[in-house]
Structure 1
Amino acid sequence: MADRDTAQDAGGQRLSTREAAERLGVKPETVYAYVSRGQLTSRREPGARGSTFDAKEVDTLARRTGRREPSTPGGELAVRTGITLIDRDHCYYRGVDTSDLAAHYSFEEVAEWLWTGELRPGTRFTASQDALSAAHHAVQSLPAHSGPMDRLRVALIAAAAADPLRFDLSEDTVVGTARTLIPTLVDALPSHAPKQRAADSLATRLWSRLTSQPADAAALRALDAAMVLLIDHDLAASTFAVRVAASARAHPYAIVSAGFGALDGVLHGAASGLAHRMLTEVLDRGSAAAVVADHLRAGHQVPGLGHPLYPGEDPRARALFRLLEEVPQARPALHAAHQVITTTARHTELHANIDLALAVLTVSTDMPAEAGETIFAIARTAGWIAHALEEYAEPALRMRPRGQYSGPRAPQPLP
């Protein structure tokens, strides 16, 4: 819905002078300079306070001039995106609540919709045999102690090497690459199941790579929903790394590699592993109070609690908890998670985030502690592709902040 400063007519969205300036990354006075040069067309509505501008015309000019993104009042770079909106206690993909999407559609259906704008019921992604063969050989050459993220990184590089068309950045080719890359990453992981079918959903195939437990319908539905909820989350560190790479026109495999690099941090993708170990300890010791006390005594934040973008509970956690309540074997881990939340609330007001809900899923299904990060990485790959598609349509190399030099005063003598 447009805000009160934005007009709407039959010809499309109209922007106020302020909004046009923000999209162009210029001052309002410069917008009127564009009008005087004939580069923009303004229109004053009867009774309106100022001129309005056609949104498509403004966006076209923004791409042609290659203006950098505007800065927010706090000084940080603000990047225009039409993918994810975080609004207090809700998260939306292209204006649709992610909780509703996770409740009604599969991961593949939502990913396809994000990339193309079309929702295709029953969509299934299939790996390229050449890429999958290369990925299998590469993964099998790793040391036995290698973790899932090690395997994903190696599989990604092998799949890229097997794709001679990876430098084609046209939209259709990039989307086609995404449809085969994500199942390649999943299928390259060692499986606990004796036989896998390419027609199975990604959630089904990923399940067999994460646990030897049989997949009941409710638990599998929770895993699929978790993947939908984790597809994107605005400009997280890994997503910003992806957009920088895409701005330099890196190919899709390279942009996912950039995302993996940023994801591999304890404050990002690996956070669910900490929550997994905490819940395991709570279940072993039979008390959340003792475990929470240990974290607080050590000066550590309690894993799985708090998120800087949400004043209350993470809506993704709320949606996943709701589905996990339908999984009988998840009840002990759910109880442990609620004990952690209520115990911590006595000291500080922190709410559950997606990492805690993901940990309930991984603990209750006998998955390893690293499983949450694997789920996160596979799911977020779909979001990274969506951001790359957006960035490929922007002026190249626009993600180029200027350094604020703080070294010795120049010139200095030769060392």
Structure 2
Amino acid sequence: MTDQGEDGPRLTTREAAERLGVKAETVYAYVSRGQLTSRRSPGGRGSTFDAREVDALARKARPESRPAGDLVFRTGITLIDGERYYFRGVDAVALAERYAYEEVVHWVWTGRPAPGARFTTPPEPLEAARRAVGALPGHAGTMDRLRVAVIAASATDPLRFDLDREMVLSTAGGLISTLVDALPVVGRPHPGEGGIARRLWPRLTGRPSDDASLLVLDRALALLIDHDLAASTLAVRVAASARAHPYAVVSAGLGALEGPLHGAASGLAHRMLSEVLERGGAAPVVADHLRAGRRVPGLGHRLYRGEDPRAQALFTALTEVPAAGPALAAARDVVATTARHTALHANVDLALAVLSVASGMPAEAGETVFAVARTAGWIAHALEEYEERPLRMRPSGQYNGPRPPRPLP
């Protein structure tokens, strides 16, 4: 052991390599990835390494130290426990029923209440985002518009690389607001600023809103802020681990969200409910899905044995919307019909589909709601990851290609 530093024993490069079971070059590769820190040796020749840090890395590197494929993240944002989920220890459904979306977002970000919180839209990013969105072809979808809006807004912000917590939070509120206000209006906009739900409604449907419908939309936004480490959230944390700025981490989340097994799932449920209403019942529609070997959309969730608590909350709120009656009945018919064959319960995608079908929204509306809501959760996870050691998520590939050397092609 080379010496005893003020912060504990230190190792030479050779000693560190021996403990890790790697070559000296690999030790310096760990340093470049941020997995180890080095210090120049007394006299300036060679480097030394904290023995405890080396030992910790060695434990992580051993296959037996954790189950294969099991990557655990420390997070204080969301706990899923049994049939409920909690934001910073408080029941998420209770929060959504009591507070507006922006107020719940502030709770998730800071753990402090923020009565009457509102997000304001900075003019320069909004102008750039609207220009970029307006340049897209007519067939572009809402997710296309959100992705280019994030990029355009990012380009106007020279301070985006400042990862100070307060700066990130200031940026995040403006970004969520910009994403909504950059979308084209298809209905009559509400006068005045208002909250995110009030501003999002006329960008989803040409039908006028009512208080009950706006309440459902606002509640959906609040319920969808976060749900532990979904695929898009994992993508966000990987980007944040590389110290990507907030716009970039949101772009990473949007990319993962667009898959048909994640954010787009509500669109499949929307089309199914529309077909149930057209055909007068769920039986033939469910039969067609089963005959084709497809899952029935909007049913089942890997984290809940019973009904998704987010779906329960939205169905309850939707009972107060008179126009939602037929779509709500169609959803219940789907659940009851499928229950004859398998015990699957409604998930949040089915509840979002009831809202979108009943409100005359397009099939992709649920995905839009999901993306706007989840942007806040992605920011919360990015803030947590910024506090972790950078580039800590560097798995090793298990090569299964042809063994070298091979002749030059």
1:361 alignment partner, one of 355, 366, 376 = 355
Indicate whether 1:323 and 2:323 are aligned.
no
The percent identity for this pair of structures is 66
Q: Secondary structure at the match of 2:294?
A: coil
Matches within 5 A, 1:2-401: 73=67, 75-197=69-191, 199-401=193-395
Alpha carbons of 1:251 and 1:68: their partners in 2 closer, same or farther (altered >3 Å)? farther
Q: Distance in 2 between matches of 1:75 and 1:271?
A: 25
CA contact (8 A) 1:71 1:77 kept: no
Aligned-partner Cα distance in 2 for 1:175–1:349: 42
Describe the superposition over 1:160-202 as per-residue Cα deviations: whole angstroms up to 9, x where unpaired: 0011100000001100000100010000001134555563110
Structure 2 counterpart SS, 1:85 = strand
- 8 Å Cα contact 2:121-2:178 kept in structure 1: yes
Distance 1:161 1:196, change over 3 A: farther
Structure 1 286/104 Cα, relative in aligned 2: closer, same or farther at 3 Å? same
Per the alignment, in what secondary structure is the counterpart of residue 217 of structure 2? helix
1:105-151 deviations in whole A, cap 9, x for unaligned? 11100111111222111100011100000011111111111111111
Judge conservation of contact 2:107–2:114 (CA < 8 Å) in 1.
Answer: yes
Partner AA of 1:356 in structure 2: L
Q: How many residues align?
A: 354
Deviation at 1:80, TM superposition (A): 1.3
CA-CA distance at 1:413 after TM superposition: 3.2
* 1:395 partner SS: coil
Q: What do the CA deviations read for 1:263-311 (whole angstroms, capped 9, x no partner)?
A: 0110000000000000000001101001000000000000000111111
Give, in whole Å, the separation in 2 of the partners of 1:135 and 1:405.
42
Asked if the contact 1:68–1:398 (Cα under 8 Å) also holds between the matched residues in 2, the reply is: no
Superposition RMSD in Å: 1.9
CA contact (8 A) 2:193 2:199 kept: no
Structure 1 residues 176 and 296: CA distance shift in structure 2, 3 A: same
Contact 1:270 1:373 in 2 (8 A): yes
The residue aligned with 2:5 is none
Return the letter of the residue paired with 1:336.
A
**Rounded Cα–Cα distance in structure 1 between residues aligned with 2:189 and 2:329:** 35
Q: Distance in 2 between matches of 1:102 and 1:326?
A: 16
Q: In structure 1, how many angstroms separate the alpha carbons of the residues matched to 2:234 and 2:256? A: 9
Aligned residue identity for 2:301:
H
Q: Is the Cα contact below 8 Å between 1:232 and 1:380 reproduced in 2?
A: yes
What is the deviation of 1:332? 0.5
Structure 2 length-normalised TM: 0.83
**Structure 1 CA distance, aligned partners of 2:167 and 2:192?**
21
Matched residues in 1 for 2:324 and 2:56: separation?
Answer: 54
Kept in 1, the 8 Å contact 2:188–2:206? The answer is no
Is contact 2:212-2:321 (8 Å) kept? Answer: yes
Give the match's secondary structure for 1:344: helix
Q: Work out whether residues 189 and 202 of structure 2, in 8 Å CA contact, stay in contact via their aligned partners in 1.
A: no
Alignment correspondent of 2:6: none
Measure, in 2, the Cα distance between the counterparts of 1:158 and 1:197. Answer: 26
* C-alpha displacement of 1:94: 1.1
Alignment-derived partner of residue 45 in structure 2: none
Structure 1 counterpart of 2:407: 413
Q: Distance in 2 between matches of 1:325 and 1:72?
A: 47
Task: Decide which structure has the larger Cα Rg and report it.
Answer: 2
CA distance in 2 between partners of 1:295 and 1:390 (Å):
41
Query: Which whole-Å CA distance do the structure 1 matches of 2:196 and 2:159 have between them?
Result: 24
Structure 2 stretches lacking a partner, 5+ long: 1-51
The answer (yes or no) to whether the contact 2:189–2:199 under 8 Å persists in 1 is no
CA-to-aligned-CA distance 1:342-393 (integer Å, 9 cap, x gap): 0000011111000000000110011110100000000000000000000000
